[in-house]
Amino acid sequence: MNRGQLHPYQLEGINWLRHCWSQKTDAILADEMGLGKTIQSMTFLYSLMKEGHSKGPFLIAAPLSTLINWEREAEFWSPDFYVVTYIGDKDSRSVIREHEFSFAEGAVRSGPKAQRMKSDAGVKFHVLLTSYELINMDKAILSSIPWEALVVDEAHRLKNNQSLFFRTLSEFKINYRLLLTGTPLQNNLEELFHLLNFLSPDRFKVTVAYDDQRFS
């Protein structure tokens, strides 16, 4: 990187993510807090763009309180990324959708209610940063965008496959999925299973028997 130096373990993590991408294997990056999962994720996505593997768009879902940190790390580690932070009240989000989502005229309908973006309209940004809540609220437009990659920060929010956030994201068109969480030892078996179910529902299926949720 031209303005910072990665720690060896961060570089190892990025190389592992790049390998997973090349193998079309969705991933869980599990690390203790403060060791740079945000930096590794952003640098991984940036390397895909700089090397011509993918121009995005990339969707990053994170707690609202952490979006400032994501913005800061994106500015430092991926200066050529066009990053849009999608937050605010319904009028503010309407302005963002109308002016920051696409270069094409009329690609997004104006107004306070989020509606699907025209399928043939190119996306203006490389990265969209937003919160879990807004993904649920504005899924009409966000689910209409074909995402090259999804990053979910604090992915324990997906620990229940009946949660609204889990079900909403399951309707999105996503080419690659990356979940960020604490070390697997901090998750109980059920929570870890649901993360794997989100990444690979065909391999990690949930069956129901006698009104109890069981694993298969």
Q: The tokens of 201 are what? A: 């529902």
Question: Which of 152-166, 169-183, 191-205 has the highest average model confidence (pLDDT)?
Answer: 169-183
The alpha carbon dihedral of 10, 146, 24, 178 has a sign of positive
Q: Note if the bond before 146 is cis, omega within 30 degrees.
A: no
pLDDT beyond 80 at 124 = yes
Question: Which of 52-56, 125-129, 205-209 has the highest average model confidence (pLDDT)?
Answer: 125-129
Which class for 13: exposed (0-12), middle (13-18), buried (19 or more C-beta within 10 A)? buried
The reported pLDDT for the residue numbered 191 is 76
Mean pLDDT of the chain: 85
Residue for token digits 């993510």?
17
Residue 51 CA to chain centroid, in angstroms?
Answer: 20
The reported pLDDT for the residue numbered 1 is 42
The reported pLDDT for the residue numbered 200 is 77
Which strand (E) or helix (H) includes residue 132?
A: helix 132-137
What confidence tens digit (pLDDT) does each residue in 90-104 have?
Answer: 999 999 999 999 888
- The stretch 150-164 carries a mean pLDDT of 81
Which strand (E) or helix (H) includes residue 151?
A: strand 149-152
Residue for token digits 């609202």?
64
The reported pLDDT for the residue numbered 72 is 95
Tell me the C-alpha distance between 57 and 128, whole Å: 8
The reported pLDDT for the residue numbered 103 is 85
Residue 170 CA to chain centroid, in angstroms?
Answer: 12
Domain 25-88+123-200 has CATH 3.40.50.10810: yes
Residue for token digits 């109980």?
188
Residue 66 CA to chain centroid, in angstroms?
Answer: 14
pLDDT beyond 70 at 184 = no
The reported pLDDT for the residue numbered 166 is 85
